[in-house]
Structure 1
């Protein structure tokens, strides 16, 4: 299951899985029955591989400046709507947590309705509202039946939530307390502590450096007036991408996009995030009393529009992105029993996101494991993948890729990312074509161009203990780590 999630999460739309709304109990693609579910439900395929859906993507711009991407899908009597704003924590402007708080407060109150009335309104219509804020973006989503009697009131409520949030004081206090409680909980999670320090070291003064949720020092001081000002500029129509998929005609889709766009504050797109400076490489350690040591190994990777994206995606799948069978999993877990799981990945964003390797291992083997992982990376960059590894990765991707358009929810996520990162409408087909045409030398060259084993930023979190030599590789490792990673 974890392997599948990683495949889908990195299919070229890194953030799609993180932003997915999930299934609504009464509107789930996979739970509808009868003729309406035949083309949408994976269960209805009866074990057969899903077929690749050809998407007819229509695009236009609203009068207020929002970019719209739309796919008609009449198999189900429903639609999915997702608005993506350049309103993530990279736009916090020196107030860490501002973007997260603003997004979390959208559905806490509108004129005449409190959070309970808003929730009851969506629930009574059989509709689902979703929202979230991340480093690059903030999102708000609606899933509803497409019949007028449900669609019209659901859209009206959605437009109010996005365009007229009141940011009530009691809700603001409650959400601040939830965030502060989360910060206290993080102190008990060495992996989270390592991640926080890693981003600080990777990004320094860049907007990606601070955590999206803010900090215990910044959250208490954020005011309602700051939320209102952030909403006015970051949730402006010109800063929005509208993705729409479902049982709608073009004219109905245009009406929905116009209604939502007109309800937003009016204003332009925010400036793009600047590229970060290369960080100073080296190792830092967080002392933590545990049996396991967390190892996080990273360097700056690529932005989302880098022309080497397909080659790096495929190269990483072979090295550490595809679960069992990767170089990392084979050498670190299967042959030596040093960890339950080890993974690598590029998180390509508006500016250069991180390339990261992370794992847990027994504390007394942590230094040897770190040296092994660094050597495996250096060897891979020097030698590149074998032809068999490349062929296997291409075949695996060809088999799993149809899942990226197997449901309306999956498609709306693809459209949102294509619009947000200014990818061509032919992106999905281009990506598969590019991947399948890659040679071992092209993958090797791309990986070596973007990664440097001497430029790694490493953060470890665990106890300081006497170190032991690593066991030699074998087909039957003596033992696995004493605890499942968390």
Structure 2
């Protein structure tokens, strides 16, 4: 026996002994008395044995998850509030979601992003460094970002009054009374313009920008949330002030709050934040996009790999088929390893490092997209293979086993979506912004578990068409090679990490 094998077997034996000792400990240790149920930590509905005698004891039991009691009201200024008491930690998470994304840019692409980025650059008596130091000294964390539908600002802080009150006051000043200092504007513009230069070296980014132009045409979703190299230099402080006054108004805001707070404390906090914002109503929702013309566009790019993106208009967030489409896509390409696309394109042919599909549901119809990178000389064959897989899936639907496996996987992973206060506050923000029911989290899993093969097949076929795809590729024009036949042991391993 070689030294390497001897060490390997020795370690294996040691691992087995440790595992056996751990099992003996957990099976034989006394059961602790359960704690009294509270609103924040209810007793699980399913009772488990005093100790685990067999894995079979878990069969058929739903995974435990936090019961979330969402309280809701409106502030005097019209902001919608969603609040969850969570007393496990002496902290709170506050998240404001504004209908202030790039879909509100109008004729100035990037205006929403620049306004959001400048929020914490200056307030009366404080520059960006003083603001950052103010949050840091209190042990608080400020965050912000802008996307196509929304702009967000968030605060995490301790709930002790001597930390909470100054942190909340600074937060209210930052989101309600930013000064948009000129020196910060110059710096952020330069950073954004440098990012545009970097994008020129990223075939995936170039393909994505072109894809949205093709999908959305003149619709507000067509341009990037970052704006363009032509639009950013001309954005003025006056434009950002006007955008802030309109889009960061209290009536255009959803306030989500989770933490170690009473209802009275939550009402006082949200009233303070709401009063700090400009006064104004909710902005109109984004208009519906027109159906794009199907077809392919190629971007010539010097590379060993070709980026492939296939897309069509998908669904908005209010779509009744959302649960069926979510589950159907998990089987097609949204669930990582084990999906049809990963199995056929990577595992059986080694054509890519990774391939995925997904619906992005927004206020208006967001994209359904399949994306991958593959060897340039096999890009045409890979594209046809992906189209054939999608066409077959839409025609024949998933198998019963695929549906059962996907349900089981979602049931196991879904509790992670509310595992922390930060996770919950993000969920609350989405529920409020997209006008979902307060019972959405429970309803979604019930809807998923009630799905059958026929329902999933019908929903996917209703919303997708393999012959109606907008396709964008970015890579070199090279002589093409035939694809290898499918096998459990591809001659060539899966392609390396995608190029950026």
| TM-score, normalised by the number of residues in structure 1 | 0.90
The answer for the alignment partner of 2:133 in structure 1 is 120
The answer for the alignment partner of 1:166 in structure 2 is 179
Match of 1:408 among 415, 421, 429: 421
Q: Hey, what's the Cα distance between the residues in 2 that align with 1:417 and 1:94?
A: 27
Q: Does residue 91 of the first structure (1) align with residue 93 of the second (2)? A: no
Match of 1:316 among 329, 342, 346: 329
Q: Does residue 388 of the first structure (1) align with residue 394 of the second (2)? A: no
Deviation at 1:94, TM superposition (A): 1.2
Deviation at 1:465, TM superposition (A): 0.3
Asked if structure 2 preserves the Cα contact closer than 8 Å seen for 1:292 and 1:483, the reply is no
Runs of 5+ unmatched residues, structure 1: 1-37, 40-47
The answer for the alignment partner of 2:368 in structure 1 is 355
Asked if structure 2 preserves the Cα contact closer than 8 Å seen for 1:82 and 1:140, the reply is yes
**4+ residue runs of structure 1 moved beyond 4 angstroms?**
none
Deviation at 1:50, TM superposition (A): 7.2
The answer for the alignment partner of 1:294 in structure 2 is 307
Deviation at 1:51, TM superposition (A): 2.9
The answer for the alignment partner of 2:267 in structure 1 is 254
The answer for the alignment partner of 1:417 in structure 2 is 430
Match of 1:196 among 209, 232, 251: 209
Q: Which structure is richer in relative contact order (CA contacts within 8 A, separation 6 or more)?
A: 1
Which moved further from structure 2: 473-482 or 334-343? 473-482
SS at match of 1:162: helix
The answer for the alignment partner of 1:232 in structure 2 is 245
Change (3 A) 1:254 1:232: same
The answer for the alignment partner of 1:284 in structure 2 is 297
Asked if structure 1 preserves the Cα contact closer than 8 Å seen for 2:114 and 2:240, the reply is yes
Q: Hey, what's the Cα distance between the residues in 1 that align with 2:63 and 2:171?
A: 33
What do the CA deviations read for 1:336-375 (whole angstroms, capped 9, x no partner)?
0000100000000000000000000000000000000001
Asked if structure 2 preserves the Cα contact closer than 8 Å seen for 1:73 and 1:246, the reply is yes
Asked if structure 2 preserves the Cα contact closer than 8 Å seen for 1:361 and 1:481, the reply is no
SS at match of 1:467: coil
Deviation at 1:479, TM superposition (A): 1.2
Deviation at 1:480, TM superposition (A): 3.1
| TM-score, normalised by the number of residues in structure 2 | 0.87
The answer for the alignment partner of 1:244 in structure 2 is 257
Match of 2:229 among 204, 207, 216: 216
The answer for the alignment partner of 2:36 in structure 1 is none
The answer for the alignment partner of 1:434 in structure 2 is 447
The answer for the alignment partner of 2:124 in structure 1 is 111
Give the root-mean-square deviation of aligned CA atoms. Answer: 1.4
Deviation at 1:302, TM superposition (A): 0.1
What do the CA deviations read for 1:364-405 (whole angstroms, capped 9, x no partner)?
000000000001000000000000000000000000111111
Asked if structure 2 preserves the Cα contact closer than 8 Å seen for 1:287 and 1:464, the reply is yes
Q: Hey, what's the Cα distance between the residues in 2 that align with 1:324 and 1:162?
A: 42
What do the CA deviations read for 1:309-347 (whole angstroms, capped 9, x no partner)?
000000000000000000000000000000010000000
The answer for the alignment partner of 1:462 in structure 2 is 475
Deviation at 1:482, TM superposition (A): 4.8
SS at match of 2:187: helix
Deviation at 1:481, TM superposition (A): 5.0
Asked if structure 1 preserves the Cα contact closer than 8 Å seen for 2:353 and 2:495, the reply is no
SS at match of 1:422: coil
SS at match of 2:472: strand
